Structure 1
Amino acid sequence: MCDSERQVPWWREAVVYQIWPKSFYSARGTSTGDIQGIIEKLDYLKSLGVDTVWLSPHYASPMVDEGYDISDYQDINPLFGTLADADELIKQCHDRQMRVIFDLVAAYTSDQHKWFQESCSAAEGNPKRDWYIWRPAKVDANGNRRPPTNWASSFGGSAWEWNEERQQYYLHTYTKQQPDLNWRNEECRKAIYENAIEFWLKRGLDGFRVDTCNIYSKPEVFTNAPITKPEAEWQSPDSIIANGPHIHEYLKEMGQIFEKYDAVSVGELGRSTSTEEALKYVASSAKELSMVFLFDVVNMGRVKGEKFTPKPWTVSELAKLTEKLQTYVDDHDAWQTTLLESHDTARSVSRFSNDSLKFHSISAKMLCVYTVMLSGTLFLYQGMDIAMTNIPSFWGQEEYLDVQTINFLKEQREKGKSETEINQLMRGINLLARDNARTPVQWGDGPNAGFTAANAKPWMRINDNYKQVNIAQQETDGDSVLNFYRKAIAVRKQYPALFINGKFSLLLYYDDKHEGSKVLAFAKLDQSHSEEKSFPKAIVLLNFSAGMQDVPIDGLQEGKVLLSNYSPDEPSERLQPYESRVMIL
């Protein structure tokens, strides 16, 4: 059976493009991007090879955490448009034979949501009294009021906030304006399913990326978290709140809804969830989630448990983590994802290759090959297609607008850190902060990089390199990163049995003792066993260094080069700086 006749779920072979609406494109010429701007750029995405669009939160929200604090699941933030605009986006995607998915943020809401406001004032017997997680205060030896546990919020400080009206604490895993929903309450769950899921699926939405989906189930008894940072007052509750006792019960309920609408669900499994645990979420027989994100590769190069503390990484480490994420579904009825950037990460070309003027383009193409040729559903993030970079290191602290960054700096000052020490911390922030992914997309080299009208002030400063790195310039350059992405995606789609469904096999990497070599090579094996297959094996070669590298793999001279970021010379056993090569043997 040829590739064109193979039948698989639509989402397995999708190329998904994540859009951060605030920074994508402004059709209205305002400070922020908007839904009409996304509609205007759908043909661009289609030309890239994208067939599914994923929108980060664009619902009604006070925007404390950039839209992840939702005040109404059934309305749109006026910054981005209207409900009619959202309906039009769904229609326009479908008219182009494209799918569209939204973010499902159901672990918490905004404190401005009517559910929470009613829960705060609820008298005994009110049905929403326990739709959120409330606990009485503790009292210390000196008679002082204290939070129920020592849990830390993911954005700093205690995970508990005192509410005067109820005279109790409520739990907030993230900001204090994001109270956690109580999934133990069946009526609360039904309301989430009806308001946040079915409301949109009935309007034609094709599915959801499911935010923080492994923290819905909290423990029945709340105990202190283990002391992992003796110097800190508040401790990470990850080992307590992740993968809780009823999590699969809840996700099976949700899965029934997804199945009813043939909707895709992509779960975010953070908090160091193991591959063994992840299989419980994505096994087809479990009927919970279609697939999940695991972040082993994305988190490479940062100290575990520290958001802004970088550490050296090696190609050996990358190879082993890639193998782990590519093979954990082998021999299981499950599916994996491929992800290198998102709204929660810094830019990959600045972290994992080389964003200098000399090597920016060639090393970005190498990362493109690494990402696009891995098996599973492919997820790209806006700006990857032109290799947008981290923000310049000389930008001041005032340019960093993410609540995670702001709260971290505030916390460091409260600990007594001097400005000299703060400036030293800025090196890690500049490399790892989420702000890096949120600068406006660089559409051209004119005013405001073509993101919005010339007389508008973008909500966040545009990266200073927009005249050198922009879509308009790369469209006309046949050798650009953008056009290379088009070629790579085309190769991926031409050989789905190899590059989407193929079995990953690690061929070559040098261990940490060989500091001079930074080569990663892997094979992709066609598992369809069709006699019609002319090319059952592909090899991907990647040089993660600015120097020449030897590749002692037999048979390279006889291979056919499908894709390379260098001129199509005869295949050799040496790789040029940041060279990538896709070959069929």
Structure 2
Amino acid sequence: MPTNDSRTLHLSIDSLNMRIVGVILATLLAQQASAQLADVDWWKTTTFYQVYPRSFKDSNANGIGDLEGITLKLDHFVDIGIGGVWLSPVFKSPMKDFGYDVSDFREIDPIFGTMADFEELAQGCKDRGLKLVLDFVPNHSSDEHVWFNKSIAREDPYTDYYTWRDPKGINETSGEPIPPNNWLSVFGGSAWEYNEEREQFYLHQFVAGQPDLNYRNPLVVTEMEDILRFWMDKGADGFRLDAIPHLMEDQTFPDEPPSNDPEFTPDQWGSLSHIYTADLPELYPIIYGFRKVVDEKQEELGRQMVMMVEAYTSLENTMKYYGEGDVKGAHFPFNFEFITNVNNETTASELKEIIDRWQNALPSGAWSNWVIGNHDRTRVASRFGRDFSIAAITMGQLLPGTAITYNGEEINMEDTWISWADTVDPQGCQAGPEFYEKFSRDPVRTPYQWDDSVYAGFTIPDSEKPWLPVNGNYEELNLAAQKQEENSPYAIYKKLTAMRKDMNAVKSGQLGTSTVGENIFVFTRYLQSADEKSVLVVVNLAENEVNADLTGVPTLRSGAMITYHVGVNSSYTAGQELSPSSVNVPARGSLVFLYTNAASTTVLASLLLVFSVILSLLH
């Protein structure tokens, strides 16, 4: 028979065991929550807003937007939940390609203002908790840059700052020098321009006024790295690197093979397969070097930087920009899947496949992102229509990763038809009056529509004519009007960015994707915690309303209810609770619901099973 002392000892051991289990349980749950919420840096959870400066806000009535105009509108970014303001180029430029032809990488172009204006903008961003990101154009300079003029004169060390080649020969008929090979400019026509003074051709993968820099020259690499340091010292919090696939070319300069694509004429870029002028493996170490510079400056200045890369290329090549092994590349390369692979014919299963393919391709530890539109491609509202554009923006905001917004998307701005006479984009001008509408980027770059006053509030009524025409729909489609509407694109956008800021499920939750029938795509964002709200997004790709049964969606437990939060053309009201067995999803629309994650019950049950085993072992 056990003594009182032995019973007391046994009870003490049981009590100790329960305490141990309690500590283990608390520790495991804390670790689980910590793992899901750790390492969520500012650039991961924010929305970056691309400002096209010429078209955002004109402060001095010359018809062109400027830095002071952006500063005047900084509170707009705060209002709509933006965290990072990304500027398209504002550096000194002859504007042959509207700022992407830089004649001085360390100066602000007078069209946009002064260095003092930039510093005021940077301080204004800092005062409001906004991050300021600059476009960096490393592939080329302007032909008016001092480097290029010295390179023409063969003045060292600039002789080989650019790619120069001797003529292939002389045309017997015209007497003109023959280009070194058949390489074409992205904008059409030969990628080679003859310089009479140097008596050689120089390479330009874009317009002739944008000679390609020679990244096989280490002096060029060092020069561009120093420019990154300069702007971080001036207040920039990071960079978006432009046109990166074109940094390197095959040094044997062979002809490129035809693409055999009947859509393109022989002088158009798409008529060739660009196996010698794009995506060369040598370019990736250059990007990794830029990241090293950014990280070193981050350490020196004590503020976190970001480096984003623009690259229209294959998924495999895109993923290489993240880095190689322990060598870091971009924080993220832009994800253009919604621009290049989603269209009005896309089915629910295809949309799921597109999203899953990107997510599954990410290297271990890499961070995703979603670009819905930009200054080079048709506006999302014109691509998809006014309703599905909001669905696309909803997905871009709530899928895992960083969200990117092009100015005007938050109010659903549309493309503006531009006549040939008003066309100024070099890509459109190069195509000529017959093809300009196919290639011109002017329609997506028209002035921001602030209100229904003359010129949509972009500039004052008696100012010079805006550099591009304002869309004729500005009287009905403008920010001021949408601020008065309860469920306007602006109002929906604000709710979505608020979710990114406030909900842990959106910041760091897991992703589940599924389909219901041919036209309903569903994704969930969830955490393994019974105390956290999870997110359910339902997207209808059909032209008609669909009643969907969502009970088969993973993480929705049997009998669970869902709460409506925000959507397009919805018959539900915010906060309304309903059964997932019968959900009316409007045509080409999206609905966002909140729910309690069912998976947490499973996780807790599994943990309790483990602890019961531990208890039995302790006994």
TM range (shorter): 0.7 to 0.9
Give the match for residue 242 of structure 2: 211
> Counterpart of 1:149 in structure 2: which amino acid?
N
Aligned pairs, number: 535
Map of 1:400 onto structure 2:
423
1:135-174 mapped onto 2 (5 Å cutoff): 135-139=165-169, 142=172, 145-174=177-206
Q: Determine if the alignment matches structure 1 residue 503 to structure 2 residue 510.
A: yes
Match of 1:370 among 395, 401, 417: 395
Aligned to 2:91: 59
- The answer to whether the 8 Å contact 1:518/1:544 transfers is yes
Cα distance in 1 for residues equivalent to 2:565 and 2:318: 34
Distance 1:153 1:207 in 2: 29
**Structure 1 equivalent of residue 221 of structure 2:** 189
Match of 2:79 in 1: 47
Match of 2:466 in 1: 458
- Taking a change above 3 Å as real, the CA distance of residues 436 and 509 of structure 1, as seen in their structure-2 partners, is farther
1:300 to 341, 351, 374: 341
CA distance in 2, matches of 1:258, 1:301: 33
Question: How far has the Cα of 1:289 moved from its partner?
Answer: 1.1
Please tell me whether residue 519 in structure 1 is matched to residue 517 in structure 2: no
User: Helix, strand or coil: the match of 1:455?
Assistant: coil
Q: Give the 3 Å change call, closer, same or farther, for CA 461–483 of structure 1 in structure 2.
A: same
1:70 alignment partner in structure 2: 102
SS of the residue corresponding to residue 214 of structure 1 reads helix
Cα distance between partner residues in 1 of 2:69 and 2:292: 34
Post-superposition CA distance 1:545-578 (Å, at most 9, x none): 4311242431687222233332325453331223
Q: What is the CA-CA distance between 1:115 and the residue it aligns to?
A: 0.3
Give the Cα–Cα distance (whole angstroms) in 1 for the partners of residues 101 and 90 of structure 2: 10
Distance 2:350 2:101 in 1: 35
CA contact (8 A) 1:323 1:504 kept: no
Q: Percent identity?
A: 30
* C-alpha distance in structure 2 between counterparts of 1:254 and 1:518, whole Å: 43
Q: Conserved in 2, the CA contact under 8 Å of 1:219 and 1:245?
A: no
Aligned residue for 1:280? 320
Q: Is the 8 A contact 2:259 2:273 kept in 1?
A: no
| Paired residues of 2:258 and 2:273 also in contact (CA < 8 A) | no
Instruction: Tell me if 1:577 matches 2:584.
Output: no
Residues 312/136 of structure 1: CA separation in 2 closer, same or farther (3 Å cut): farther
For 1:359-438, what aligned pairs fall within 5 Å after superposition?
A: 360=386, 362-392=387-417, 395-409=418-432, 422=434, 429=438, 433-438=440-445
The root-mean-square deviation of aligned C-alpha atoms, in Å, is: 2.5
Distance change in 2, residues 1:320/1:89 (3 Å): same
Q: Distance in 2 between matches of 1:459 and 1:253?
A: 38
Residue among 275, 278, 293 paired with 1:257:
293
1:240 aligns with 2:276: yes
Partner SS, residue 466 of structure 1: coil
TM-superposition CA deviations, 1:436-459 (whole Å, max 9, x none): 220000001011110001011111
- Going from structure 1 to structure 2, the CA distance change for 1:573 and 1:400 (only over 3 Å counts) comes to same
> Superposition pairs for residues 345-364 of structure 1, below 5 Å?
345-352=377-384, 354=385, 360=386, 362-364=387-389
Cα distance between partner residues in 2 of 1:312 and 1:164: 51
- Paired with 1:226 and 1:399, the residues of 2 have a C-alpha distance of 36
Q: Taking structure 2 as the reference length, what is the TM-score of the superposition?
A: 0.81
User: 2:321 aligns to what SS in structure 1?
Assistant: helix
Could you say which residue in structure 1 is the equivalent of 2:617?
A: none
Question: For residues 510 and 246 of structure 2, what CA distance do their matches in structure 1 show?
Answer: 31
Distance 1:251 1:579, change over 3 A: closer
Q: CA deviation at 1:478?
A: 2.2
Q: 1:479 Cα deviation (Å)? A: 2.0
Q: Is the CA contact (8 Å cut-off) linking 1:217 and 1:247 kept in structure 2?
A: yes
Structure 1: stretches of 5+ with no match in the other structure? 303-310, 355-359, 411-421, 511-516
Alpha-carbon offset, residue 30 of structure 1: 2.0
Mapped to 2, the partners of 1:105 and 1:372 lie a distance apart of: 27
User: Distance in 1 between the 2:37 and 2:542 partners?
Assistant: 40
Change (3 A) 1:575 1:104: same
Shift of 1:326: 3.3
Aligned 8 A contact 1:60 1:72 in 2: yes
Q: CA deviation at 1:101?
A: 0.5
Pick closer, same or farther for the CA change 1:98–1:553 going to 2, 3 Å.
same
Corresponding residue for residue 418 of structure 1: none
Residue 510 of structure 2 aligns to which amino acid in structure 1? Answer: K
Letter in structure 1 aligned against 2:215: W
Structure 2 stretches of 5 or more lacking a match?
1-29, 299-304, 596-619
Q: Deviation per CA, 1:3-50, whole angstroms, max 9, x where unpaired?
A: 897442221112111100000001222211110110111111101000
User: Where does residue 31 of structure 1 map in the other structure?
Assistant: 63
| CA 1:454–1:67: 2 relative to 1, 3 Å | same
Contact in 2 for aligned 1:266/1:290 (Cα 8 Å): yes
Residue of 539, 543, 548 corresponding to 1:542: 539
Name the amino acid aligned to 2:592.
V
* Contact 2:442/2:468 (<8 A) preserved: no
Give the distance between the partners of 2:407 and 2:537, measured in 1 at CA.
25
Shift, 1:492, TM fit: 2.2
What's the CA shift for 1:237?
5.5
Hey, what's the Cα distance between the residues in 2 that align with 1:117 and 1:318? 50
Contact 1:111–1:177, Cα closer than 8 Å, also in 2 = yes
Contact kept in structure 1, 2:93 and 2:142, CA below 8 Å: yes
Distance 1:477 1:332, change over 3 A: same
Counterpart of 1:487, as a letter, is: K
Q: Which residue of 2 aligns with 1:325?
A: 358
- In the alignment, the residues of structure 1 paired with residue 127 and residue 347 of structure 2 have an alpha-carbon distance, to the nearest angstrom, of 45
Q: Which moved more, 1:215-224 or 1:318-327?
A: 318-327
CA distance in 1, matches of 2:296, 2:273: 35
In structure 2, the partner of 1:562 is 565
Distance 1:388 1:179, change over 3 A: same
Residue pair 1:364, 1:481 contacting (<8 A) in 2 also: no
State the shift of 1:86 in Å.
0.7
CA distance, structure 2, for counterparts of residue 301 and residue 523 of structure 1: 20
The 8 Å contact of residues 66 and 113 in structure 2, kept in 1 or not, is answered as yes
Aligned to 1:291: 332
Q: Residue 443 of structure 1 aligns to a residue in which SS?
A: coil
Aligned partner of 2:390: which letter?
Answer: K
SS of residue matched to 1:261: helix
Mapped to 2, the partners of 1:248 and 1:363 lie a distance apart of 36
The 3-state SS of whatever aligns with 1:93 is helix
Look up the SS of the partner of 1:88 in the other structure: helix
1:108 is paired with a residue whose SS is coil
Q: Deviations over 1:242-285 (max 9, x none)?
A: 23232222122211111012321000112x232x3222211483
Pair 1:224-2:255 in alignment:
yes
SS of equivalent residue, structure 1 residue 540: strand
